[in-house]
Amino acid sequence: MQPNLKSSIVNRYMAEAKYESKISSAPCSAQQIYRVLSNLQNLERVREFIPQDKVQEMEIEPDRVRMKVDGLGQKITIAIVDRIENDTIKFGAEGIPMQANFWIQLKEVSPTDTRIKLTVKADIPMMFKFMVDKKLQTGLDQAADMLAQFPYAQWQ
């Protein structure tokens, strides 16, 4: 049996990449963070901070967000695909030109100290990988710091 020629050519030029953020510390419990981040409707609280020139037509539901992102030309969907209570929230993406998953990991050290780490795993075209490596790593580290600063206790 001959393998699918198109998929073998595409796979030859794709590189599976995994990026992990630095570990950031949030001054609250894993339960408080999980309760906020596992419901995407909480994005309504920060909608005003999302650049309108970069993201339009945002539709928010508890388990998914659909939006049109500048430069992609079509709507993309970010959806929660798995949850482990007070531990992990895993997301998948649709409508982007590659396979990608993203997850948030929580590790409670004490009721007032939870560590947050973000991970992205994606199949990136090899010719673009070197261009996005540093930007993706920097963005993940900044996102982890930003998530650690949210006022989770106030959002209950």
Which domains does the chain possess? Answer: 16-155 (3.30.530.20)
9: left (phi over 0), alpha (psi -120 to 50) or beta: alpha
> How far apart are alpha carbons 129 and 120 in whole angstroms?
13
Assign 3-class secondary structure to 32-78. HHHHHHCCHHHHHHHHHHCCCCCEEEEEECCCEEEEEECCCCCEEEE
Integer-rounded Cα Rg, in Å, for the chain is 17
> How far apart are alpha carbons 106 and 39 in whole angstroms?
15
pLDDT at 5: 41
Q: What is the pTM of this model?
A: 0.83
Instruction: Check: CB of residue 126 under 8 Å from CB of residue 10.
Output: no
- DSSP designation for 28: S
> How far apart are alpha carbons 105 and 83 in whole angstroms?
10
| Successive 10-residue mean pLDDT values, the chain, 156 residues | 44 79 97 95 85 86 91 86 97 86 97 97 83 88 94 83
> How far apart are alpha carbons 144 and 58 in whole angstroms?
22
pLDDT at 154: 85
pLDDT at 124: 83
